[in-house]
Chains A and B, each alone.
Chain A
Amino acid sequence: MQDPTKKLLAGTGKALDDRFGGAAGLKKQMKKLFPDHWSFMLGEIALYSFVVLLLTGVFLTFFFKPSMQEVVYHGSYANLDGLRMSEAYKSTIDLSFDVRGGLLMRQIHHWAALLFVAAIMVHMMRIFFTGAFRKPREVNWLIGITLFTLAMLEGFAGYTLPDDLLSGVGLRIFVSVVFEAIPIVGTYLLFFTFGGPFPDGLQGDFIPRLFIVHVLLVPGILLALIGAHMLIMWHQKHTVWASRKQTNRNTVGFPFFPHFIAKTTAFFMFVFGALALLATFAQINPIWMYGPYNPVDVTAGAQPDWYIGILEGGLRIMPGVESVFLGHTIPWNTLIPALIVPGLLFTFMALYPFFEKWATGDNSEHHVLNRPRNVPTRTGIGVAWLAAYMILLIAGGNDIIAKTFSLSFNTITWIFRFAIFLGPVIAFVVTKRICIGLQRKEEHLLHEGVETGVIKRLPTGGYEETTRTPSPELLGRLETNRPDVPEDMPALTDGRGVEARNGIVKRLRVSAQRWYTQDNVARGAHGDGHAEERGEVEPGAQRPELTGGRTSD
């Protein structure tokens, strides 16, 4: 009566365990709980785009020829007939037009690359705004930043390989603003990388070198880092959203087998399917329309792939400044937007967890996520960063904007030149105010209940609105995740228990700590921030008993 499938599975399991053991450990891992919340799928999108990139990329390597050897085209695309081009370009045309499924694989590959970088970024936004980078997860945050940076480089390398006119001009810009801009060693880097001058070197070495970087070196590092990222995640377990059932001491969710494994497989199919759908109907990077690269031609209105947009925007809005110093040139107009600004933006994000830990003095383990509104300073910083990023990205399309809206690009460029400084500041202030407003709303909900819109007339002649108690879920969410106020913060001591008040760094740290919490709505406040004015709370009175915040998460 033994079911043959069951028998087969049991047999395989037995055979494997006889040889390798491991049933005891795997038994536990199979039961590992995965939380059920949409925001945890963002990282999975990145992971599955990467898998799709590997699968389609392997296919492409079978047909792509990474060679600068010059050939004359006499293939199936008549518009290019008789043109001189590199083998790299020709083989890309051939694999698009003469290999069945070639165009499909190329387009899936390109769409997957765009999605990969986008998903990483949105995933990191989730991590940042919920404070999931806090101890013990700082290492995974650093790996994530590295992955993001490598993904951008990897994407740019892949975009450059076909040696078409669009990517060739992109490479020319990259060479100018990265290699040539770097003081002292820049020109040497250029000559060593290209094996001579741009674009062909002496032997056409660049494309073969870039190929191996794109298909082996960087993917190898990406694979290793993604592996480490996931092992750490598996070991440290997922974070949880604050609620009555989820605390800093438990994990809530569905077991890895069968629930999560089935769901995530379906999700992989979905991501792959969505990419296939795009590749079927949305043409991407039609290199046959751009033609092969040559150093004389350029296409107007050219745009790089989206993740290079911040470099492009910076280059466009940077005013022309360069200095000649002891007979040497420092081109600030390319050095600043291409290397210094992105370098600062990314380094800042990489170091942020350590800054926040230093500023708040909070060195405890966190597994419960913050709601962004409850940490307004962090949320403000994140939105300010995104504002800077978005302004640079949009500035990268200033000619398109000018054309679309019939405006002068000079005006638009000047607007962006101011916006890059003002935008992040405004974004910070506005975000922080919105967060505090949301805190007040919740404080109001907790104390006054939910407004019903029903007005009751009192026997005394007055009017009163009836309220009802919030739902248990809402109440649970409000109660378990409250903003910290200065009184909750750990005392900043110098190690011997003496409060840190002396010295510039220590005083800075004390102000930084206040900066994170002083505007938060105190528990028990009336919810509109005017309790003291009404005399409901004695000015300077002891704040109500600590309930929630630090100790509850």
Chain B
Amino acid sequence: MTDNGQPRRHGGTPTSAEVAESLAARRRAERGERRRSPDAPPERHLDDTEAKRSERVIATWFIVAFLAGVAFLVLYWIFPAGGPINAGVSNKLLGGCLTLILMSLAIGVMLWVKRLMPNKEMVDERHEFRSSDEDRREFGEYFVDTAESTQITKRPLLRRTLLLAAAPLGLLPLWLLRDMGPLPKKDMFTQPWRKGMRMVLAGTQDSDSPRLLKLTDITDFGSAISAVPEGITDFNQIATAALLVIRLRPDEIQGTRRGALQRKASVNGICAFSKICTHAGCPISLYQQRTHELLCPCHQSTFDMSDGAKVVFGPAVRPLPQLPITVDKDGYLVANAKYFINGPVGPSFWERGPDRNTNG
């Protein structure tokens, strides 16, 4: 309803006022003029003193931007980089100047728009995108006629051999990408542990004196130590070989089938499990001695370390694989097999299939 209570008309024949307006619009368009918006705010009339004042205000912001810019150029030379302290100071100064330059410019230009530029809100006609029926028909006819003139419609042999020629070309990039890497082969199932291999405290494998783990080193029942195979520093191998070594009191290992297997693979209550989460491959790290629960910090998969690392919560499905270990004659902890129980280690993949004791 409009103000005067008459229903508004939408479809159908336009009212005389609408016709008049549309004619006027067309005349204006021919003259290159446009209608001002009816509800537009009143146009600004620039008062000379007012304009002068605005000019000075805007110019002040531009001068601030200029000074900040000069400060940036100078401070760059005065404050050197080198180390976190210097970088921090330099960052604050240069960043502060840059912020000031950009913000002052933004404010200056915005004030210019608001105070000095014409604020005439305008109206333009909008036309339907659809071309006229005639144009569409002409285009279609031209297209079809021309296509026919190339003989493509009449010569199926041409068409088919052209498509045939394109087919291998499309596959070519796939072929070319083949040498980006080797085939997986058995790589996903292999890991570097071998029977009798000693354990090195993770993080010391690169140093001049890698720290080998002895049975007597692991006295604490609450600790969880990361270990890697002796002599191996390559990340690809460490990514599958990393262990988490924990110690349980013999009576803490549960009497389940899993527990029995776990006890058999351990020595003196010391168990070595794969550190790589069977969910998404994060190295697991948060061990709670009281509950024997091991928590993956990435997605909170929780494993019961007193029951063969069975999953008790979270998105993981499979228990952490366990490496059978023993003690050699010198008292060092060593691998007692060349496979993980319930391997291969790490997250699932298509070729994995059921659990198996993988060797490598």
A positions within 8 Å CB-CB of B: 31, 33, 36, 76-78, 84, 96-104, 107, 136, 169, 172-173, 175-177, 180-184, 186-188, 190-202, 205, 209, 236-237, 243-245, 248-255, 258-259, 262-263, 265-267, 269-270, 272-273, 276-277, 279-281, 288, 294-302, 312, 315-322, 324, 327-331, 333-334, 337, 365, 367, 398-399, 409-410, 413, 446, 472-473, 475-476, 479, 545-548, 551-552
Given A183-B350, A191-B183, A331-B317, decide whether A473 and B39 contact each other with a Cβ distance below 8 A.
yes
Distance, CA A177 to CA B279, complexed state (A):
8
Given A176-B347, A269-B103, decide whether A298 and B181 contact each other with a Cβ distance below 8 A.
no
19 A–B contacts, CB within 8 A, in A order: A169-B282, A176-B280, A176-B281, A180-B348, A181-B347, A186-B350, A193-B181, A196-B181, A198-B236, A201-B181, A266-B105, A281-B95, A295-B239, A296-B238, A298-B285, A298-B298, A301-B297, A333-B316, A473-B39
A107 near B181 with CB under 8 A, answer no
Given A254-B120, A331-B348, decide whether A294 and B282 contact each other with a Cβ distance below 8 A.
no
Known: A104-B94, A266-B113. 13 other contacts (CB 8 A): A36-B121, A103-B87, A183-B350, A202-B182, A244-B39, A250-B125, A297-B203, A315-B279, A324-B353, A329-B350, A409-B300, A475-B3, A479-B2
Distance, CA A186 to CA B315, complexed state (A):
20
Distance, CA A103 to CA B315, complexed state (A):
38
Given A316-B300, A328-B350, decide whether A295 and B124 contact each other with a Cβ distance below 8 A.
no
B128 near A77 with CB under 8 A, answer no
Given A365-B129, A398-B300, decide whether A191 and B235 contact each other with a Cβ distance below 8 A.
no
B123 near A84 with CB under 8 A, answer no
The interface stretch among B6-14, B44-52, B137-145, B163-171 is B6-14
Does any Cβ of A come within 8 Å of B184's Cβ?
yes
Between B124, B316, B353, the greatest number of chain A beta carbons within 10 A of the residue's beta carbon is seen for B124
Does any Cβ of A come within 8 Å of B283's Cβ?
yes
Does any Cβ of A come within 8 Å of B275's Cβ?
yes
Q: Which of B37-74 contact A (CB under 8 A)?
A: 37-40
A552 near B81 with CB under 8 A, answer no
Tally inter-chain residue pairs, CB-CB below 8 A: 331
> Which chain A residues lie closer than 8 Å to B242 at the CB level?
295-296
B184 near A190 with CB under 8 A, answer yes
Q: Name the distance in Å between A197's Cβ and chain B's nearest Cβ.
A: 5
A101 near B76 with CB under 8 A, answer yes
For A523, the closest partner residue in chain B by CB is: B1
Distance, CA A551 to CA B102, complexed state (A):
46
> Which chain A residues lie closer than 8 Å to B102 at the CB level?
269-270, 272-273, 276
A315 near B239 with CB under 8 A, answer no
B187 near A197 with CB under 8 A, answer yes
- What are the nearest 9 A-B pairs in CB distance? A280-B95, A273-B102, A269-B106, A266-B109, A331-B348, A295-B239, A551-B10, A180-B349, A76-B83
B105 near A269 with CB under 8 A, answer yes
> Which chain A residues lie closer than 8 Å to B195 at the CB level?
none
> Which chain B residues lie closer than 8 Å to A245 at the CB level?
37-40, 123
A263 near B113 with CB under 8 A, answer yes
Q: Name the distance in Å between B16's Cβ and chain A's nearest Cβ.
A: 18
Encoded as 1 (CB less than 8 Å from any A CB) or 0, chain B from 73 to 117 comes to 000100111111011101110111011011101111110110001
A191 near B182 with CB under 8 A, answer yes
B239 near A198 with CB under 8 A, answer yes
Partner of B98 from the list A104, A266, A367 (CB cut-off 8 Å) is A104
Does any Cβ of A come within 8 Å of B351's Cβ?
yes
Distance, CA A276 to CA B124, complexed state (A):
38
Q: Which of B293-338 contact A (CB under 8 A)?
A: 297-301, 311, 313-318
> Which chain A residues lie closer than 8 Å to B90 at the CB level?
100-101, 103-104
B10 near A552 with CB under 8 A, answer yes
Given A100-B81, A107-B91, decide whether A315 and B180 contact each other with a Cβ distance below 8 A.
no
Encoded as 1 (CB less than 8 Å from any A CB) or 0, chain B from 333 to 360 comes to 0000000000000111111111000000
Partner of A294 from the list B38, B39, B119, B235 (CB cut-off 8 Å) is B235
> Which chain B residues lie closer than 8 Å to A321 at the CB level?
317
Does any Cβ of A come within 8 Å of B260's Cβ?
no
> Which chain A residues lie closer than 8 Å to B347 at the CB level?
176-177, 180-181, 331, 334
> Which chain A residues lie closer than 8 Å to B203 at the CB level?
296-297
Given A253-B122, A333-B279, A551-B11, decide whether A280 and B91 contact each other with a Cβ distance below 8 A.
yes
